[in-house]
């Protein structure tokens, strides 16, 4: 298939610039994976859609304040976006400056802090913290929450909480697994009381999730790499769910990619620890995911291609057209879709 097959026109005013007043007050579009039937609901209706023998699989990654603003020795402005932490003092980063920095160059940050450029790695840089503070400590001190480029404002104090899921635990993402942003403690407790089981995988979402597909032929696209973990406990939970006739419901495309990366064949899943470059497009045969909760995604994005693979291209197009007509809120801070 071609990139243009996943294009659509979205009015700019439907791009959510702030989170909903309450996490679970979002709207929910329900889409039948086979029938294509569409229903318009509230997010709290998920309690009716999840059965007592289902397994909800969440991504427990936590967003780090990965955006840094500094300057070179010459006074030129520099923006650093940490893509991945690689140790206590080092990380891989994108650097935006008027001129590409060279190895050995220092970047001055607020509060007397600094980074050093160690080496260039393709279109990114290996950087290191200068002084006694580790790189994570520097991020906590002067870093900013890396809001997506379509949110046309600077990060604010509320983003420190709202651009995190309430169950986030493993620090390392530079973008939130946004399907999980709709859950609050009350709804999670009600789902547990109903008998639904919870499992937690980890995928540290990278900035590449926002990179557009630049080739027309999808077979030529090189998927960005992200670190993923699927534990033996999660594998056992998936097997037990299948055995009792329940559904494995992935909360977000990142949970889908974790589960499918760890699934060599239908009904088979094994522990996985490492990078994943799994690129799911229409024609892919899903091996363990039975239903999915996800937000609305950018045109021509790998995430929209994954959703189209799961729900069908025509069903997905119809759902997006209906969501636009009904004035749903789109993207990271927007509304959600439940596909089953």
Query: Within this chain, do residues 117 and 18 fall inside the same structural domain, yes or no?
Result: no
Residue 80 has phi, psi (to 5 degrees) of -115, 130
Q: What is the pLDDT of residues 19-59, one digit of tens each?
A: 999 999 999 999 999 999 999 999 999 999 999 999 999 99
Residues 94, 20: Cα–Cα separation, whole Å: 30
Query: Within this chain, do residues 125 and 241 fall inside the same structural domain, yes or no?
Result: no
CATH number of the domain where residue 281 is located: 3.40.1780.10
**Pick from 97, 98, 130, 126: which is nearest to 113 by CA?**
130
Query: Within this chain, do residues 35 and 182 fall inside the same structural domain, yes or no?
Result: yes
Does residue 288 lie in a domain region? yes
Does residue 154 lie in a domain region? no
Query: Within this chain, do residues 54 and 76 fall inside the same structural domain, yes or no?
Result: no
Query: Within this chain, do residues 111 and 170 fall inside the same structural domain, yes or no?
Result: no
Q: Crossing angle, helix 253-261 and helix 302-311, to 10 degrees? A: 70
Which residues, including other chains, have CB under 8 Å from residue 158's CB and lie 6 or more apart? 18, 19
- Please report which helix (H) or strand (E) contains residue 162, including its range: helix 159-162
Residues 98, 187: Cα–Cα separation, whole Å: 47
Does residue 249 lie in a domain region? yes
pLDDT at 210 over 80: no
Residues 50, 195: Cα–Cα separation, whole Å: 9
Query: Within this chain, do residues 204 and 303 fall inside the same structural domain, yes or no?
Result: yes
Question: What pLDDT shows up at residue 140?
Answer: 94
Query: Within this chain, do residues 259 and 280 fall inside the same structural domain, yes or no?
Result: yes
Query: Within this chain, do residues 74 and 124 fall inside the same structural domain, yes or no?
Result: yes
Tell me the residue ranges of DSSP E strands in the chain: 27-31, 38-42, 55-59, 61-63, 67-71, 77-85, 90-97, 106-108, 114-121, 124-130, 170-173, 197-203, 226-230, 248-251, 272-276, 291-295, 336-339
Question: What pLDDT shows up at residue 220?
Answer: 87
Q: What percent of the chain has pLDDT over 90?
A: 88
Q: What is the pLDDT of residues 57-87, one digit of tens each?
A: 999 999 999 999 999 988 899 999 999 888 8
Query: What is the number of domains present in the chain?
Result: 2
Q: How confident is the model at residue 254 (pLDDT cuts 50, 70, 90)?
A: very high
Q: What is the pLDDT of residues 255-278, one digit of tens each?
A: 999 999 999 999 899 999 999 999
Does residue 246 lie in a domain region? yes
Query: Within this chain, do residues 220 and 327 fall inside the same structural domain, yes or no?
Result: yes
Residues 121, 116: Cα–Cα separation, whole Å: 14
For the record, the structure tokens of 127 come out as: 């950087």
Query: Within this chain, do residues 18 and 109 fall inside the same structural domain, yes or no?
Result: no
Which of 142, 174, 194 delimits the end of a domain? 142
Residue with tokens 């004035």: 327
Q: How confident is the model at residue 158 (pLDDT cuts 50, 70, 90)?
A: very high
Residues 60, 255: Cα–Cα separation, whole Å: 9
Whether 293 contacts 249, CB under 8 Å: yes
pLDDT at 336 over 80: yes
Query: Within this chain, do residues 316 and 196 fall inside the same structural domain, yes or no?
Result: yes
Instruction: Cite the DSSP H helix spans in 195-301.
Output: 232-243, 253-261
Does residue 148 lie in a domain region? no
Does residue 147 lie in a domain region? no
CATH number of the domain where residue 112 is located: 2.40.10.240
Q: What is the pLDDT of residues 300-328, one digit of tens each?
A: 999 999 999 999 999 999 999 999 999 99
Average pLDDT, the chain: 95
Does residue 42 lie in a domain region? yes
Query: Within this chain, do residues 127 and 50 fall inside the same structural domain, yes or no?
Result: no
Q: Which domain holds residue 234?
A: 3-63+160-339
Question: What pLDDT shows up at residue 68?
Answer: 97
Q: How confident is the model at residue 88 (pLDDT cuts 50, 70, 90)?
A: confident
pLDDT at 202 over 80: yes
Q: How confident is the model at residue 123 (pLDDT cuts 50, 70, 90)?
A: confident
pLDDT at 283 over 90: yes
**Pick from 81, 58, 110: which is nearest to 258 by CA?**
58
Does residue 83 lie in a domain region? yes
Burial of 153 (0-12, 13-18, 19+ CB in 10 A): exposed
């Amino acid at each position: 298939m071609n990139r243009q097959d996943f294009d659509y026109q979205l009015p700019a005013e439907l791009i959510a610039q702030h989170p909903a007043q309450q996490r679970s007050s979002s709207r929910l579009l329900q889409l039948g994976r086979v029938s294509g039937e569409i229903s318009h609901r509230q997010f709290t209706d998920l309690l009716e859609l999840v059965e007592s023998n289902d397994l909800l699989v969440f991504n427990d990654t936590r967003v780090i304040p990965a955006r840094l603003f500094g300057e070179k020795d010459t006074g030129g402005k520099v923006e650093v976006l940490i893509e991945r932490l690689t140790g206590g003092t080092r990380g891989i980063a994108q650097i935006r400056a008027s001129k590409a920095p060279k190895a050995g160059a220092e970047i001055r940050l607020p509060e007397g802090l600094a980074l050093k450029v160690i080496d260039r790695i393709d279109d990114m840089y290996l950087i290191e913290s200068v002084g006694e503070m580790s790189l994570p400590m520097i991020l906590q001190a002067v870093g900013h929450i890396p809001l997506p480029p379509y949110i046309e404002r600077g990060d604010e104090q509320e983003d420190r909480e709202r651009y995190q899921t309430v169950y986030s635990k493993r620090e390392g993402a530079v973008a939130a697994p946004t399907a999980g942003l709709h859950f609050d403690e009350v709804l999670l407790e009600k789902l547990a009381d109903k008998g639904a089981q919870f499992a937690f995988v980890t995928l540290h979402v990278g900035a590449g999730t926002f990179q557009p597909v630049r080739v027309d032929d999808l077979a030529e696209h090189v998927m960005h790499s992200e670190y993923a973990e699927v534990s033996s406990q999660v594998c056992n939970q998936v097997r037990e769910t299948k055995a009792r006739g329940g559904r494995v419901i992935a909360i977000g495309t990142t949970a889908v990619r974790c589960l499918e990366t760890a699934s060599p064949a239908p009904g088979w899943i094994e522990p996985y620890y490492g990078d994943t470059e799994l690129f799911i497009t229409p024609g892919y045969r899903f091996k363990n995911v039975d239903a999915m909760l996800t937000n609305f995604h950018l045109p021509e994005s790998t995430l929209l291609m994954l959703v189209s693979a799961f729900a069908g291209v025509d069903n997905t197009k119809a759902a997006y057209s209906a969501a636009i007509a009904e004035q749903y809120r789109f993207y990271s801070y927007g509304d959600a879709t439940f596909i089953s």
